Amino acid sequence: MAKQVLAENSTLRSSPLAHLGTKMEQGAVRGDRGVAVREIAFTTQIGLRAEPGSAAHGALASAVGGALPAGVGEVAGSVEGTSVLWLGPDEFLAVAPEGTELYPDLVAALGDEPGQVIDLSANRTVIELSGPMARDVLEKGCAADLHPRNFTPGTAINTVLGPVPLLLWRTGEATFRLLPRASFADYTARWLLDAMTEYLSPEVD
């Protein structure tokens, strides 16, 4: 009976940007000046707190695959599997594909050690911006230096896009993932779509 209820609930749930799915598809720009935006919904996101060098830190590192990032901008793990983003000296965010059961294993790994494991999966959504002009779109509203020599693939930072605070994660040469709070997702997606419209027209010399 419990499995049936869970299955029914999963068909009723709606992601923060489900209502903009068609609009995001139609807003994609093709070609050399291409850029596209989509939501990666229902990712597993687990907040972790542990002091570096502590037993808790080591236990959580082992539970997520062997490492936690050590400094600003660092990301451990893989985009396809479980990634861990650095948020602060003792604070991290584990991100994994939908359905990944991280929470029970992390809670068990932490045990009674001082630290924290919190399921934050409903706190943020993931918006992926990709294409040759993706960085140009972001630079219209982000003050951080996004040049590849500084913001390389596999880097994630806390920043703002326009007025929205978010996590910005470069997952590839021309691919970025934005993690705004769910309540800011609609604004962020519409901001991106508006910024993308410039590239629908040929470049003016």
Beta-carbon contacts of 173 under 8 Å, excluding residues fewer than 6 positions away, are 148, 153
What pLDDT score does 32 carry?
92
What pLDDT score does 181 carry?
97
For 34-74, the pLDDT digits (tens) are: 999 999 999 999 999 999 999 999 999 999 988 899 999 99
Q: How far is CA 63 from CA 56, 58, 68, 111, 185, in A?
A: 11, 9, 10, 12, 30
Domains of the chain from N-terminus onward: 16-41+125-205 (3.30.1360.120), 42-122 (3.30.70.1520)
Which of 205, 192, 178 shows the shortest CA–CA distance to 140? 192
What pLDDT score does 202 carry?
77
Which of 7, 16, 11, 3 shows the shortest CA–CA distance to 122? 16
Mean pLDDT of 26-37: 95
Mean pLDDT of 133-156: 96
Range in 146-150, 175-179, 198-202 the model is least confident about: 198-202
pLDDT mean across residues, the chain: 93
136-160 core/surface letters (b: 16 or more CB in 10 A; e: else): bbbeebbeeebeeeebeebbbbbbe
What pLDDT score does 13 carry?
86
For 80-96, the pLDDT digits (tens) are: 999 999 999 999 999 99
5 pLDDT tier (thresholds 50, 70, 90): very low
Q: How far is CA 181 from CA 4, 21, 72, 81, 92, in A?
A: 30, 18, 20, 22, 16
What pLDDT score does 12 carry?
77
Mean pLDDT of 163-183: 97
What pLDDT score does 159 carry?
97
Output 4 or 22, whichever has higher pLDDT.
22
Mean pLDDT of 117-123: 97
What pLDDT score does 2 carry?
45
What pLDDT score does 110 carry?
96
Which of 52, 199, 68 shows the shortest CA–CA distance to 131? 199
What percent of the chain lies above the pLDDT cut of 90?
Answer: 89
**Residues 83, 149 contacting (CB under 8 angstroms):** no
pLDDT at 128 over 50: yes
